[in-house]
Structure 1
Amino acid sequence: MMLRRLPITARLAACTLLATFLYLALAMHDAQAQSRSYPVDDSASQVLERLVPMEWDSTPGSGAASHAVSGTVTVLVRLDVAPWRGRPGRIYMSLPHQPSGPVTATWTTRGPLLPGVLRAGERQLVYAGPIDTALIEDTMRLHLQADGRRLGRNEQLDFSFEIEPGAL
């Protein structure tokens, strides 16, 4: 009822403002809907070396400031993306924070997945594009680095994958 009492220019301005607000609200909703991520089943992936021997990057006690240890492992990655087949998407690899402290993974790939670097507690883009098949397969060569002073004898890293369908 208030709009009827306002001059026509004020009513037009109010309608324009309302339309702009609704447009922005819908755009934000669409952006949030597209940025939803879903877990990707990677249970068919295979780690070729069950135990990764970690070696000191420099000899402790030799005056070197580094306490880093590193090791390398090969993983045959198999991502079941069948639910998103025929749609574009962005796939991320993540690694939760580790109780033993910072861990960094650097990897190379041989197929459709992107090479990259990932620190514990982060996620990294490994694929962006159309999902044309039910399974994305690649071979990753992961180089792991951690603080040797804090690393336990048998630590397990639980990498996981998630997809944002519709995002490019």
Structure 2
Amino acid sequence: MQHSLRPATNDDRVAVENLVFSVLAEYGLTPDPDGTDCDLHDIHASYHAAGGTFDILVGDSGQVLGTVGLFRVSPSTCELRKMYLARSARGQGLGRRLLEHGLARASALGFTRVVLETASVLREAVLLYERYGFRPYVPEHLAARCDTAYYLELTPTTVA
């Protein structure tokens, strides 16, 4: 099966929400469409127009298999958001591909620091972040479903 990455549009919103919410439910986490997940209501405004990006991994038949967003926090910092992968697409190195793509896009957009918040129940994601050098930190606040935060300083070797 071939997979391609492309920028998401607002036309992808329903498919993106379905994927994100189904993965959250799979891990016992509650979607929050009016809070933490309200950025999905208008992908263009929340990400692309705000200086970030939101990309999707698409399968042969056009189904959305993965997502990765970069939300601009400041001129130098972005937040890695909504990195999710459909169950059918796991175990194929696609999570690594999404993360590497996100880090390369962050660098290309001029960000030098990537932060993220996650739930420790997402063990596979946490292990992936740690393998790529993300380090824990304590932010001012965490999203309700998150219990840990990480940061990564981007260097030319980080995204090489």
TM-score (norm 1): 0.25
Between Structure 1 and Structure 2, the one with more strand by share is 1
Larger Rg: 1
